Amino acid sequence: MASEFIALDKSAQDLLFREARTANSFTGEPVTEEQIQALYDLVKWAPTSFNQQPLRVTLVRSDEARARLVAQMWDNNQAKTQAAPLVAILAADHRFTDELPSQFPVFPQAKDVFFSDDAVRAESARLNATLQIAYFIIGVRAIGLAAGPMTGFNADAVSKEFLPEHQEALTVVNIGVPDAAAWYDRLPRLGYEKVFTTV
């Protein structure tokens, strides 16, 4: 049985993976700054190339900012974003290299050797921020909340509205305690043999 090889106990496996799903609605219970700090204490350890850390998170807490964000969401995502206790804009910072010498001190020249080209730097920022976003979603689950990640929004407009010019919005995540209607039925997943190839 596959579960005998998993180090996490079954309740942790279920919390993070098997029973976790995208949440579509939440209770009115607020999400505190302390909870978000605890979340970051876990997810900051995500693996990235050269230990670059391009993920930047904008927490949307004010009513005014919420209204501006909702206007850029698509279709059903508007109502979900309006009602969520907390919304986070997850972005890639194309100037992650500003921090690279201190975060990768074994080779501080990496900033110039590998990332002097704008296109290369942007592609790396997107890829590694996406890895961090995956950890972020699991981290939300790990602190006992639910995540509703969405890419259905006007990313260019959200970037211009909320972020410095060197940051690019990738995902919007609703965060909170799920309510009774939060979950859609679980959709199927591909089987092992469809995904894995041995050569």
Q: Give pLDDT tens digits for 132-155.
A: 999 999 999 999 999 999 999 999
Percent above pLDDT 70 for the chain: 99
For position 47, what pLDDT does the model report? 97
**pLDDT value of position 22:** 95
- The confidence score (pLDDT) of residue 4 equals 81
Question: pLDDT of 35-46, one tens digit each?
Answer: 999 999 999 999
How many residues does this entry show for the chain?
Answer: 199
Q: What is the pLDDT of residue 1?
A: 60
User: 3-class DSSP state for residue 148?
Assistant: strand
Distance CA 199, CA 58 (A): 43
* Structure-token pair, residue 58: 């904008």
Closest CA to 104 of 93, 116, 96: 96
Chain segment 12-34, per-residue pLDDT in tens = 999 999 999 999 999 999 999 99
Q: Within the chain, which residues score under 50 in pLDDT? A: none
Place of tokens 């850029």: 72
